[in-house]
Chains A and B, each alone.
Chain A
Amino acid sequence: MTTLRDLLTRQREYGVLALLLLTLAVVGAINPAFLKIGNLRDMLVQDAPVVIVACGMTLVVVLGEIDISVGSQMALLATVLGLLTSPSHAHWPVATAVAAALGLGTLLGLINGLLVTFGRMPSIIVTLGMLTVLRGVSLALLNGQDITDLPVGLRVFGIGTFLGLPISLCTALVVVGLTVALARETPLGRRIYAAGSNPEAARLAGLPTPRLKLFAFTLTGFLTAVATIVHQTQFSVIQAGVGQGFELLVVTAVVVGGTSISGGRGTILGSFLSALMLGMVGSMLIFLRLGVSATYWERAIQGAFILVAVLADHLARQRRPRREAAP
C-alpha cells in the first residue's frame, strides 16, 4: 500500500518536486513576477548546464564513483570552442569546431574513466587531479585573453530558439528524456544500477562493471561538452574562470536529488528536479526583494537548504522500517 508519506520518502523525486512546488508557490505569492512564463523559462535556461551534466553525473554516482572535474572540463571545452571558432584565432567552421568540442569532451571523460577503471584509482582523486590540471591547461591556452569575436553561427546554440523554446532548454529536456530512457529502458541502464547496487553480485552475474564505469564517465564528459556548447555561447565573451565551482553545483544537485553517494540508488529525474530547485534558491532571494544586506546571507541560506534537504531525506529513510516485520 503506498501512502502519500511513503511516496514522499521512498521516491525522492516526489519529495523534491513537492519542495519545488512549495517554493514556487511561496515566492510566487510574495512576488507574482516569479511565476511568469518568461521567468520560469529563463530559470530553466540557466539551469540547463547543471541539468545536462547532472544526467551523466547521476549514473557516475549510482556506480559509486564521482566526477569533480566537470567544471574544469567545461573551462577547457569553452576555451577550445572559442579558439577554434574565433575568426582571430583558428576560424574553423562552426560545425567542425562543435564536433571537435564534443569529441574532446568525450575524450576527457574517457580519460577519467580509464584512470578509474584500468588505473584502479579512486575517482575522487582522479577527478581532483583533473580539476586542477584542466583548469591550468585552459588558462594556458587562453593566455590571458578574452575571446570576444565568437561567430554568430556558434552563438545560435546559446541564444537561438527551436519551436519557440531556447535551444539550451530543448537540449536539456532532450538529454533528460534520453538519459531517463537509457537508465530505465535499456539493458545498459539497468546494468549500471545493478553494478552500483551490489558490486559483488554484479561480478557473479557477469556484468562488466569497469566498462559500465567507463561508459558513465565518458557520457559525463560528452554531456559536459554539450552543456558547454549550449550554455557558454549565451555570452559574447569567453573568459578565464568559466565553470569555476560548477562541479559543486552538479554534485549537489545529484545528491540532493536522492542519489546515494555510496551507489545503487538515485534517479535522473530526481537530479533534474533538484537542479531546478537549487537553481531557484538564488533567484528566489532576488525576487523576495530582501534588500542589499540579504545578499550576504545568500550562500549561508543555500548551504542550510542543502543540509536540511539531505537531513530530512536521511531521517525519513532511517525511520522507515527496513523490512516488513513479523507480528
Chain B
Amino acid sequence: MRNNARSLLLLLLLLAAALLVGCGKHTESPTASSTAASGGKQITVCLLPKKKGLAYFTSCADGAQQAAKELGDVNLIYDGPTDGAPEKAASLIETWTLKGADAICVSPNDPSVLAPAMKAARAKGAHVLTWDADGQPDSRDYFVNQATSEQIGGALVDAMAKDLGGAQPTGKVAIVTATLTAANQNEWIAMMKERLKKYPQMQLVAIKPCNEDQSVAFQVTQDLMKAYPDLKGVFGISSVSFPGAAEAVKQAGKTGQVLVTGLSTPNAMKAYVQDGTVKSVILWNTQDLGYLTVYAAEALATGKLKPGATTFKAGRLGEKKIQGDNILLGNILVFTKDNIGKYDF
C-alpha cells in the first residue's frame, strides 16, 4: 500500500513537471502564433449548428466555407454536438470564447440554455450572431434572419392550406416533430397553432415526436393515418421527420389523399415531390444562409458592420437589408414540382 502511494506521488510530480513544460512552451508560443496571425490578420469565425451531421447544416456550412474562401481573412471553424445536446453546444461556445474567437455564430438548439454562454462570450469581446434560429435578443449582436418562427410556422400552415385547396381548407392534420423538448420545433408548433386559427376547418389532432429517428417518424405517421382515417395532412417539421412521414404516406398508397409538407433540404424530398406525395417543401437557400452568416460575422469583427447600419454588402448576395438587429436573407422558398429540380443541396 505504502509503496503504491509513493509511486503515485512520484507520478504526480511528473505530472506537475509536464504541466510546467507545457506552460514553459506557452511563454514562447504567442510570438509564433501572432506572427502567423498578423501576416493575414486572420479572423476566427466559429459556426455552431444545432446538430452536426444533419445535411441541412452541412449545406449551410458549405456556403459558409465559400464565404470564408472569398473573404480570405476568415479562419472558419464548423463544429457542433452530433447528438444535438444544447449543453454541449453551450460548452463549445465557452471553449471558442476561451480560444479567442472573433465571431461566434450560433444556431441555438435551445435559446435559454445557450444564452448564458453567449452573453459571457460577448462580455469577453467576441461578436455573437445567431443564424438559422434566433436566440435571446440580449445574447447576440445580430440575427441572420432567413425566417422568423412566425414566418416558418405561417408558411407551413399556409402551404398545407393551399395544397388542401379551397377557400376553407378542411380536414384533420397532425404534426410529427423532432423531439418533445426541441425548443425550435416547439416554437414553430406554437406559431403553427396560432396560424391555424385562420383556418377553422383545419383541425390539429396530434403532435408526435419521432425522437430524431426516421423510422419512428415513419411508424408514427402510419399509425396516425390508421387511427385517424380521415387525416388529411401531416407536417414533418424536421429534416428527419419529413422524409419519414412522406415515405409512410407513399407506402400506404395514400399519395394524394394525405398530404405531407414540412421543412427539409430539397434533395431529400425530390422523389416525393415528383411523385406527388409532397406538394410543397418549405425552406430557404441554406448555402446562402451560411454564406451570409460568415460575411456578417467578418464584417462585424473587422468593424465594417457597425450598429445602426441598415444595409451591408455580402459578396455575391449583394446588398442585404438590416432591420434593427436582424440581417435579412430574403424569402422563404417553397419548393414545388416546378422548381425543385433547380436546387441541389
Let me know if chains A and B touch directly in the complex, using CB atoms closer than 8 Å.
yes
* B247 at interface, CB cutoff 8 A: yes
Q: Quick one: which of B209, B214, B239, B270 contacts A235, CB cutoff 8 A?
A: B214
13 contacts between A and B (CB under 8 A): A142-B53, A144-B53, A144-B58, A145-B55, A148-B267, A234-B251, A235-B215, A235-B244, A239-B239, A241-B212, A244-B213, A245-B211, A286-B223
The minimal Cβ–Cβ distance linking B194 to chain A, given in whole angstroms, is 15
Residue of B nearest to A282 (CB): B219
Looking at chain B's contact residues, is the secondary structure mostly helix, strand, loop, or mixed? Answer: helix
In the bound complex, do residue B54 and residue A235 qualify as a contact, i.e. CB atoms below 8 Å apart? no
B218 at interface, CB cutoff 8 A: yes
Q: Say yes or no: A234-B247 contact (C-beta < 8 A), given A31-B227, A33-B226.
A: yes
Which residues on the B side are within 8 Å of A46 (C-beta)?
215, 218-219, 222
Any chain A CB within 8 A of the CB of B289?
no
Does chain B have a CB within 8 A of A231?
yes
B181: nearest residue on chain A (CB-CB)? A296
Known contacts A144-B61, A287-B227, A292-B204: A236-B222 contact under CB 8 Å: no
Q: Is the Cβ of B214 less than 8 Å from the Cβ of A242? A: yes
**Known contacts A33-B227, A42-B222; A234 and B53 CB within 8 A of each other:** no
Question: Is B251 touching A159 in the complex (CB atoms < 8 A)?
Answer: yes
CA distance A241 to B247 in the complex (A): 18
Q: A139-B53, A144-B53, A148-B270 are in contact. Are A237 and B180 (CB under 8 A)?
A: no
Chain B contributes a number of interface residues (CB within 8 A of A) equal to: 44
For A241, the chain B residues whose CB sits under 8 A away are 53, 212-213, 240
- Once the chains bind, are B82 and A139 in contact (CB under 8 Å)? yes
Kindly state whether residue B96 has any CB partner on chain A within 8 Å.
no
- With A42-B222, A46-B219 as contacts: A240 and B53 at CB distance below 8 Å: yes
The answer to whether B243 has its CB under 8 Å from any CB of chain A is yes
Q: Are A292 and B212 in contact (CB under 8 A)?
A: no
Chain B hits for A11, CB < 8 A: none
Interface residue? B207 (CB, 8 A):
yes
The answer, yes or no, to whether B206 is at the interface (CB within 8 Å) is yes
B180, B206, B212, B267: the one contacting A244 at CB < 8 Å is: B212
Interface string of B180-215 (1 = CB under 8 A from A): 100000000000000000000000111111011111
List the 4 shortest-distance A-B pairs measured between CB atoms, nearest first.
A144-B58, A240-B53, A146-B55, A286-B223
Kindly supply a per-residue 1/0 record for chain B positions 267-281, scoring 1 wherever the CB is within 8 Å of any chain A CB and 0 otherwise.
110111000000000
Task: Tell yes or no: A206 within 8 A of B by CB.
Answer: no
List of B residues within 8 angstroms of A242 by Cβ: 213-214
Provide the bound-state CA to CA distance between A289 and B229, in Å. Answer: 12
Residues of A contacting B55 in the complex (Cβ-Cβ under 8 angstroms)? 144-146, 239
- Residues of B with C-beta under 8 A to A143: 58
Closest approach, in angstroms, between the C-beta of B110 and any C-beta of chain A?
A: 17
Interfacial chain A residues near B53, Cβ < 8 Å? 139, 142, 144, 240-241
Bound Cα distance A66, B209 (Å): 29
A244 to B216, alpha carbons, bound, how many Å?
11
Is B212 a contact partner of A286 (Cβ separation < 8 A)? no
Rounded to whole angstroms, the CA-CA distance of A260 and B229 in the bound complex is 42
* Contact residues in A for B52 (Cβ distance below 8 Å): 139, 144
State whether B265 touches A245 (Cβ < 8 A): no
Min C-beta distance of A139 to chain B, whole Å: 5
Which B residues lie within 8 Å of A235 (CB)?
Answer: 214-215, 218, 243-244, 247
**Pick the contact of B224 from A142, A146, A286 — CB < 8 Å?**
A286
- Binary B-proximity of A285-312 (CB < 8 A = 1, otherwise 0): 0110101100110000000000000000
Taking a contact as CB atoms under 8 Å apart, the answer to whether A240 and B54 are in contact is yes
Instruction: Enumerate chain B residues within 8 angstroms of A236, measured Cβ to Cβ.
Output: 243, 247, 268, 271-272
Q: Is B240 in contact with A286, judged by CB distance below 8 angstroms?
A: no
Most buried by B among A38, A135, A234: A234
> Residues of B contacting A186 with CB < 8 Å?
none
B213 x A245 contact (CB < 8 A): yes
Interface residues in A124-177 by Cβ distance below 8 A to B read: 135-136, 139, 142-146, 148, 159
CB of A36 closer than 8 Å to a CB of B: yes
CB neighbours of B209 from chain A (8 A): 295
A283 beta carbon closer than 8 Å to chain B: yes
Query: Which of A39, A42, A146, A242 has the largest number of chain B CB atoms within 10 A?
Result: A146
Q: B220: CB under 8 A from chain A?
A: yes
Query: In the complex, what distance in Å separates the CA atom of A116 from the CA atom of B240?
Result: 35
- Interface residue ranges of A262-296 to B (CB < 8 Å): 282-283, 286-287, 289, 291-292, 295-296
A239 and B240: CB pair below 8 A?
yes
Tell yes or no: B142 within 8 A of A by CB.
no
Min CB distance A98 to B, Å, is: 19
B212: nearest chain-A partner, CB-CB = A241
Contact indicator B219/A33 (Cβ below 8 Å): no
Q: A291 to chain B: which residues have CB within 8 Å?
A: 206
A residues less than 8 Å from B268 (CB atoms): 146, 148, 236-237
> How near does chain A come to B234, taking the closest CB pair, in angstroms?
13
Q: Are A240 and B226 in contact (CB under 8 A)?
A: no
B54 x A239 contact (CB < 8 A): yes
When distances are taken between beta carbons in the complex, the residues of chain A under 8 Å from B265 are 146
Question: Is the beta-carbon distance between A36 and B218 smaller than 8 angstroms?
Answer: no
Any chain A CB within 8 A of the CB of B57?
yes
Whether the Cβ atoms of B180 and A296 lie closer than 8 Å is: yes
Please name all residues of chain B whose beta carbon is closer than 8 Å to the beta carbon of A148 when the two chains form the complex.
267-268, 270-271
| CA of A38 to CA of B252, assembled, Å | 10
Taking the closest CB of chain A, its distance from the CB of B297, in whole angstroms, is: 20
